[in-house]
């Protein structure tokens, strides 16, 4: 891989490029209007949920019906609206399943699974029994979907420090002989099932895929009570061990690791220590996640939690829960201090694809790319690509076309 930069969306002809850039500045882009201007997290979550439509995981009318039931940042309104929709589809799926209508049942189970998870995406009452109930319902619906649809996946449990990490192994129907493996690490808020757009891009190009809930994520957090840890190589290396031992169809010399959002920060740490990883994809690149969040919290370090803005208060509670520390700014800041990859970047010797977007909320992908010493490529999505938002939300089809042709080349599937 040559050290190169690519701007996705740019026009090659210089004259056309000037015209396109002028036009881009003069008009609005799809990502600018917001569902809720006063809550950027809810806005991002809703756009992600809508982006899952091409994969049969959501439907526009269902999602928008929930949107019109929401009331600002009211958590109960969020949880109840999504849970009611999930329950309705879950019941429909079971009725169809009982009548032998397996196509209908599989379709409804898949969307019900998504909506059960949606109910938990914006919910900070971590002791509420619905946390476990809805998480189990989501996993159950997704498993039933796989069983009925014939989708080439299977649920797996990766042994991990006296417990296990839940996940899925997807076999590519296009693989010939031993084929590459892509391991996908979700972000702080999404689950293994939510990475389907990534897995689809891999499977269609002859690459097997393993996606999982690591400590602090999805079912690993809500069922097994596992919290985040900074030494992520201790998470990924057991995954590689498990995959190579269990699935003989994997080419051990061609293993990629892709991280989304917070996972984009975690992936290089694993690649620095496990040299079986031959390609690292960071979406977006990030040198120090801890430094960025600590900077946001530093303005409020002398304030009691009940005196800081609601969004920041919820951020502190969420980080405290997922990192297993007391619910204070001081403890969260202390927990985030080790989340800094500055000292290990020289150890990332595998090929690295660094993704970025002009609408990205976490800045620093370019400086991350420039700090790498090994083979690397920087890929920037701009407004005209329609995939400029955080982790290409809203532009998954475009992103897949550009990202996965590169991944296939690097893993030997071109």
* The pTM of the whole model exceeds 0.85: yes
Catalytic residue among 51, 261, 288, 385: 261
Tokens of 250: 């994997």
Query: What are the DSSP calls for 321-376, one per residue?
Result: HHHT--SSHHHHHHHHTT---GGGGGG--SEEEEEEETB-SS--HHHHHHH--SSE
Of all residues in the chain, what percent carry a pLDDT higher than 90? 75
pLDDT at residue number 2: 60
Strand locations in 143-195 (E): 153-160, 163-170, 179-185
Tokens of 369: 């790319």
Tokens of 361: 């909320």
pLDDT at residue number 27: 67
Q: Which of 252, 245, 166, 238 is CA-nearest to residue 208? A: 252
pLDDT at residue number 17: 40
Q: Is 254 a catalytic residue?
A: no
Helix %, strand %, coil % for the chain, to 5? 50, 15, 35
Q: Which of 299, 283, 294 is CA-nearest to residue 353? A: 283
pLDDT at residue number 116: 98
> What domains does the chain contain, in order, with CATH numbers?
1-22+153-287+341-414 (3.40.50.1820), 52-151 (1.20.1440.110)
pLDDT at residue number 18: 35
pLDDT at residue number 311: 79
pLDDT at residue number 301: 80
pLDDT at residue number 205: 96
Contact between 236 and 155 (Cβ < 8 Å) = no
Q: Which of 395, 376, 371 is CA-nearest to residue 384? A: 395
**Residue spans of the chain under pLDDT 70:** 1-3, 9-27, 33, 37-38, 414
pLDDT at residue number 7: 73
Using CA atoms, how far apart are residues 137 and 94, in angstroms rounded to an integer?
12
Place of tokens 């220590």: 273
Contact between 376 and 3 (Cβ < 8 Å) = yes
Measured in whole angstroms, how far is the alpha carbon of residue 343 from the centre of its chain? 25
Q: Is 186 helix (H, G, I), strand (E, B) or coil?
A: coil
The CA angle 325-212-312, to the nearest 5 degrees, is 35
The strand order across the sheet containing 250-260 reads 4-8, 376-381, 351-357, 279-283, 250-260, 179-185, 208-212, 163-170, 153-160
């Amino acid at each position: 891989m040559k050290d190169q930069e690519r701007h996705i969306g740019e026009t090659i002809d210089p004259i056309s490029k000037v015209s396109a850039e002028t036009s881009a500045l003069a008009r609005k882009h799809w990502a600018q209007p917001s569902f809720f201007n006063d809550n950027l997290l809810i806005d991002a979550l809703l756009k992600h949920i809508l982006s899952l439509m091409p994969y049969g995981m959501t439907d526009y009318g269902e999602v928008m019906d929930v949107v019109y039931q929401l009331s600002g940042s009211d958590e109960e309104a969020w949880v109840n609206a999504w849970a009611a929709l999930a329950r309705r589809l879950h019941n429909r799926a079971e009725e169809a399943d009982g009548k032998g209508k397996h196509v209908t049942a599989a379709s409804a189970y898949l969307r019900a699974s998504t909506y059960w998870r949606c109910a938990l995406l914006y919910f900070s009452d971590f002791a509420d029994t619905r946390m476990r109930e809805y998480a189990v319902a989501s996993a159950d619906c997704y498993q039933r979907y796989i069983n009925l649809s014939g989708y080439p996946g299977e649920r797996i449990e990766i042994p991990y420090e006296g417990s296990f990490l839940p996940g899925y192994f997807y076999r590519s129907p296009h693989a010939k002989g031993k084929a590459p493996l892509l391991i996908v690490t979700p972000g702080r808020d999404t689950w293994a099932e939510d990475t389907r757009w990534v897995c689809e891009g891999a499977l269609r190009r002859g690459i097997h895929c393993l996606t999982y809930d690591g400590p602090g994520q999805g079912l690993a957090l809500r069922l097994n009570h596992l919290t985040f840890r900074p030494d992520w190589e201790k998470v990924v290396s057991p995954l590689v061990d498990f995959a190579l031992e269990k699935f003989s169809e994997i080419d051990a010399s061609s293993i990629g690791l892709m991280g989304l959002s917070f996972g984009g920060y975690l992936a290089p740490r694993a690649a620095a220590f496990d040299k079986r990883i031959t390609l690292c994809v960071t979406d977006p690149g990030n040198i120090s996640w801890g430094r960025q969040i600590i900077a946001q919290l530093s303005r409020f370090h002398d304030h009691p939690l009940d005196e800081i803005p609601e969004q920041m208060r919820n951020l502190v509670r969420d980080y405290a829960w997922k990192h297993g520390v007391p619910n204070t700014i001081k403890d969260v800041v202390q927990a985030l201090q080790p989340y800094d990859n500055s000292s290990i970047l020289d150890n990332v010797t595998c090929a690295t694809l660094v993704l970025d977007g002009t609408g990205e909320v976490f800045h620093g992908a370019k400086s991350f790319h420039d700090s790498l010493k090994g083979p690397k490529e920087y890929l920037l999505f701009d407004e005209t690509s329609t995939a400029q938002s955080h982790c290409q939300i809203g532009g998954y089809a475009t992103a897949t076309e550009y990202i996965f042709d590169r991944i296939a080349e690097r893993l030997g599937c071109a």
